[in-house]
A = this chain, B = another copy of it.
C-alpha cells in the first residue's frame, strides 16, 4: 500500500507530539523513564504480541506467555534496567479454554522465578477478533545509566550479545521444514533454532553492565542490520559492520555456508532479542571482561563513523540487503 505510513511514520506523526514528558524521549526509544528514589530510575516499556502475527495460534500457551513477557524484559535489559514487575492485559477470543489459561499462567510463573519479577496487575477483556497479549514491564536502573538509542559517537565500537539469526532461521524452518536438509542441520541444531524463535533469551543478567558501559543501546528485535540503522540514525552517526564478526550459532553458520541468502535472512530477520550497544574503545576491555564473568557472550561487530551511511562488509566487499529490517507491524 504505497503512500501509507508505516509504524514509525505513524508514531512520529500522530503520537510524538503527545510525548511531552522528558522521560518519554519523544517516543524515539524502547522504554520511558520515571524519576525514582535513591539514585534510581524507574524504566517502563510495553510490547504486545498478537496471535497470527507474533506467534503461531497453536504455539504452546506457556511459551506464548513467556515470549510476551521476555520481549519486554529484553527492552528493559537494553536500557540497563533490572526487571521488577509487570502488568498483563489479555484480550481473549470468545472461545478460550481453561487449559490454555492454566498453561499460560504456568509459563509466567516459570519466568517470574527465573527473572525475579512479580505480576502487578492487568486487565482481561473479550476480543471478538483474536488473542492479543499486551504487557507493560517495570525495571530499575541506576540514575543516569539508562542508555538511549541516541548516545553513540563516531569512533565507538558496536557490540552485540549472544548469536544473531537463530530465531529468523527458526521461523523459516518452521514455515518450510525442508530447509533443515538444505542447511544440513543436526537434530539438535534444528531444535535450537526452532526453540529460539519460540522463546527468546532476554539478556537480563547483563542489564547493569549495559547501563554502566553502553553509550547507546537497544535490543535487536527487528533484524540486526535494520536496528543498527535505527541506532545510527538516532545518534546521527554512520557505521561499518563486519559481517564476518557477527556471532552465529553453528546451525546458522552452516546454513549461511550452504545457502548464502540465509546469511541475509540471519542479519535482517527479527526476533533476536539480543542487545546492540555502543561502547567507548577505552571501555571495551572492561566491558568484555564483565560480560564474560556473567556468562554472556559479546562480540565487537564494527565501528561507528562520521556521516550517516551504514555499510555492511564481508571480506572487504559491501553486502546489499533487499530489506534491512523486519517490521512486525
A295 within 8 A of partner (CB): no
Q: Is A124 an interface residue, CB under 8 A from the partner?
A: yes
User: In the complex, are the beta carbons of B46 and A122 less than 8 A apart?
Assistant: yes
- Could you say which residues of chain B place their CB within 8 Å of the CB of A109? 17-18
Contact at B101–A14, with CB atoms within 8 Å? yes
Chain B interface: which of A49-57, A236-244, A264-272, A274-282? A49-57
**A79-128 interface with B by 8 A CB criterion:** 84-85, 87-89, 91, 93, 98, 101-102, 104-105, 108-109, 112, 118-128
Q: Does A207 contact B (CB under 8 A)?
A: no
Question: For the complex, is A31 an interface residue (Cβ under 8 Å from B)?
Answer: yes
Binds B, one of A35-43, A193-201, A302-310: A35-43
The answer, yes or no, to whether A34 is at the interface (CB within 8 Å) is yes
A115 → chain B, closest Cβ, in Å?
A: 12
Contact A14 B102 (CB under 8 A): yes
Q: Contacts A34-B85, A85-B32, A121-B24 hold; do A50 and B127 have CB atoms under 8 A apart?
A: yes
Indicate the size class of the contact surface on chain A.
35 or more
Q: Please, which residues of chain B bring their CB within 8 A of the CB of A54? A: 125
Query: Is chain A's interface secondary structure helix, strand, loop, or mixed overall?
Result: mixed
Q: At the interface, yes or no: A7 with Cβ under 8 Å from chain B?
A: yes
Whether a CB of chain B sits under 8 angstroms from the CB of A138 is: yes
Check if A24 sits within 8 Å of B85, measured CB to CB: yes
CB atoms of B18 and A121 under 8 A apart:
no
Report whether A18 and B105 are in contact in the complex, using a CB–CB cutoff of 8 Å: yes
**Interface status of A23 (Cβ within 8 A of chain B):** yes
| Contact of A63 with B by CB under 8 A | no
Interface string of A6-47 (1 = CB under 8 A from B): 010011001101111101100101111011111000101111
Q: Is the CB of A129 within 8 A of B127?
A: yes
A134 at the interface (CB under 8 A from B): yes
Per the bound structure, the CA–CA distance linking A125 and B54 in Å amounts to 9
Chain A residues near B (Cβ < 8 Å): 4-5, 7, 10-11, 14-15, 17-21, 23-24, 27, 29-32, 34-38, 42, 44-50, 52-54, 84-85, 87-89, 91, 93, 98, 101-102, 104-105, 108-109, 112, 118-130, 132, 134, 136, 138, 328-329
Can you list the 3 inter-chain pairs with the closest CB atoms, starting with the nearest?
A129-B129, A129-B130, A21-B118
Cross-chain pairs A/B with CB under 8 angstroms, 23 sampled: A10-B124, A14-B104, A14-B105, A18-B119, A19-B121, A20-B118, A23-B85, A24-B120, A32-B87, A36-B37, A37-B38, A44-B87, A45-B121, A46-B89, A46-B121, A46-B122, A50-B125, A89-B134, A93-B129, A126-B328, A126-B329, A129-B130, A132-B132
